[in-house]
Amino acid sequence: MKFNKEVLIKPLNRANPVTVLVLGICSALAVTAQLKPALVMGLSVVIVTAFSNLIVSFLRNGIPNRIRIIVQLVVVATLVIIVEQVLKAFAYEMWKSLSVFLGLIITNCILMGRLEAFALGNKPFDSFLDGIGNGMGYAIVLFIVGFVRELLGSGSLFGIKVIPQSFYDAGYANNGLMILPPMALIVVACIIWVQRSIRKELQEK
């Protein structure tokens, strides 16, 4: 069992599922108005991607090609329901605020993409690392977007006020547009902009 660092590191930046492959955008818009749900959502996706990659990779030689999507869906749905039930039991408020988007991890394009593109053709441990890497790549983007949106939109981080009252007294106001979904797209666009100015090889011709 060789530790393949490349598989783990690559999706964090060079092959980031959100900013380079532009997958999983819908939930990036929906749950990032606040930092806490964004973080929990990111971690949930890390767990689900990692273990579904692992399980599907174990099964890969036994899955008939014609029904592989159904098998993948069963695996993913099981994991998502486990994550959802754990959150419901131990973090009820968080489960409520994430609401339907937790269940929608099943349809997250990143998951199906990694299962199809990686887990079906690679060894279990590599697939596990690939799942963690891609989940983390997604979580990092969600974290940055959530950070910017909560800081500028609500003046707080993790629900704690960080912009001092004296700022508000001097005329500062929270940017209400940051709370609205369009701004998440623009923040993601800014991340892509910065990333591609640094890594010139990612720029499309």
Partner 1 sequence: MKALRNFLDKLKPTFSEGGKLSALHSVYEGFEAFLFVSNQTSKSGVHIHDSIDSKRVMFWVILALVPALLFGMYNTGYQHYLAIGLLEQTSFWQAFGWGALAVLPYLVVSYLVGLGIEFIAAQIKKEEIQEGFLVTGILIPLILPIGIPLWMVAVATAFSVIFAKEVFGGTGYNIFNVALITRAFLFFAYPTKMSGDSVWISLNEYFGFGKTVPAVDGFSGATPMGQAAIATGDSLQLTSPLGDPLSWWDMFLGLIPGSIGETSTLAILLGGAFLIATGVASWKIILSVFAGGAATIFVFNTFAVNAYMAVPVWEQLCLGGFAFGAVFMATDPVTSSRTETGKWIYGFLIGVLAMILRVLNPAYPEGMMLAILFMNIFAKLIDYYVVQHNINKRLKRATLSSNPAKTTPHE
Regarding 178 and contact with partner 1 (CB under 8 A), the answer is yes
Closer Cβ to partner 1, 140 or 187, answer by number = 187
Distance separating the N- and C-terminal Cα atoms of the chain: 39
Closer Cβ to partner 1, 80 or 148, answer by number = 148
Closer Cβ to partner 1, 31 or 178, answer by number = 178
- The full length of the chain comes to 205
Among 22, 82, 186, 194, binds partner 1 (CB under 8 A): 186
Cβ-Cβ contacts under 8 Å for 45 (sequence gap 6 or more): 24, 105, 108, 110, 111, 135, 138, 139
Closer Cβ to partner 1, 100 or 173, answer by number = 173
Task: Enter the tokens of residue 37.
Answer: 């749900």
- Binding map of partner 1 across residues 147-176, x = CB under 8 A, - = no contact: ------------------------x-x-xx
Which letter does DSSP use for residue 63 in this model?
Answer: S
CB 20 within 8 A of CB 14: yes
Stretch of 11-19, 55-63, 99-107, 178-186 lying at the interface with partner 1 (CB under 8 A): 178-186
Q: Environment class of residue 67 by beta-carbon count within 10 Å: exposed (0-12), middle (13-18) or buried (19+)?
A: exposed
Regarding 89 and contact with partner 1 (CB under 8 A), the answer is no
Regarding 86 and contact with partner 1 (CB under 8 A), the answer is no
Site residues (vs partner 1, CB under 8 A): 171, 173, 175-178, 180, 186
